[in-house]
Amino acid sequence: MKRRRGIIFLLVFLVCGSCIGGSLVGKDAPEIKIRQWITDNPPEIKDLAGKVYVVEFWTTWCHPCVENIPHLIELCNKFRGTGLEFIAISGDKSAETVREFISDKKINYHVAIDNGSADGYGIKGYPTVFVVNHKGKVLWQGYPWESDFEKTIAKAVAAGPPPLLAGIELGRFSALKKSLWGGSGFVRAYRQIQSLAAGNSDTKDRKLAQKIIETIDRRIKEEANQAKHLQSKDPAMALAICADIVRRYDGIEAVKPAKAAYLELKNHKPLRSRILAVKKTPASF
């Protein structure tokens, strides 16, 4: 039976994923063209500038694509909170087919129906995936099961700006980059920049400080609003978003709404029951 499955997998792979087009590595990432977003709260394509993102081309009828969905879900969970955007562009024609599929597979990343992106990226087979750095350059392309895929994502995220500051060059504040990722040193770094932003001098550094503080506050608010939008239909995801905000950035004014939502969701009885049930379930190996 296993041998039979392996043969079937190989045959399907030869049909839908047997080759990758010409390499785009080192080149500017082509434009992403979306006909329709299937998942909620998709990113604005223009807002990808300055961010690290992954683009996967796939279809619901491609067996290797389907086989690798659990791995992609795992990667999205692993890099949650790093600012990484993961976009899966489907070659399917039916939005309803894709919608039902992602609901069944519990896909946790952005999914859209293509509108010509595959042509721009030179797609010759499914699945094909690209890693794009914060400067808009393609760092890697290949199949999602290759070991270099995850390694390249990790390197791109580490080289890029902190999640809240995608697209902003830190200038004289580059020494604070590690602290601005969040955690124990975040509040001190934030206060240091905020102090300069509130000064009287009309210097380039003060303007940069103001931009950094305004961007941090705005993006925390956007994440909190996303959690608020999800509270009724997916409270577990809303709780995860709020918990991540509090864990990384607690101690500044902008976090207060997310912290209040976190405490409310944490005491949400149905959700609390689910969390306790998971904790009581013995791990299986």
Return the half-sphere exposure (C-beta side, CA atoms, 13 A cut-off) of residue 90.
Answer: 26
Q: Which one of 126, 159, 192 terminates a domain? A: 159
190 and 207: one domain? Answer: yes
Could you tell me if residue 83 is inside a domain? Answer: yes
**Which amino acid, 90?**
S
CA distances from 125 to 3, 22, 89, 142, 236 (A): 24, 12, 13, 10, 36
Beta-carbon neighbour count of residue 185 at 10 Å? 13
pLDDT for 21:
59
Pairing of strands 128-132, 85-90: unpaired
- Domain-located, residue 253: yes
The answer on 83 and 70 residing in a single domain is: yes
Judge whether 9 lies within some domain: no
Rounded to whole angstroms, how far apart are CA atoms 100 and 89? 15
Q: Does residue 260 share a domain with residue 126? A: no
In a domain, 143, yes or no: yes
Query: Which pLDDT score is estimated for 81?
Result: 79
Range of the domain at 98: 16-159
Do both 92 and 146 map to the same domain?
yes
| Per-residue pLDDT reduced to its tens digit, 175-211 | 999 899 998 999 999 999 999 999 877 789 999 999 9
Answer yes or no: is 1 within a domain: no
Question: For each of the chain's 285 residues, which pLDDT tens digit applies?
Answer: 434 444 444 444 444 544 555 799 999 999 999 999 999 878 889 888 888 999 999 999 999 999 999 999 999 989 987 889 999 999 999 999 999 999 999 999 999 999 999 999 999 999 999 999 999 999 999 999 998 999 999 999 988 888 889 878 899 999 999 899 998 999 999 999 999 999 877 789 999 999 999 999 999 998 899 888 888 878 888 888 899 899 999 999 999 999 999 998 888 655 455 444 434 434 332
Within-domain flag for 6: no
Within this chain, do residues 169 and 273 fall inside the same structural domain, yes or no? yes
Q: Are residues 108 and 25 in the same domain?
A: yes
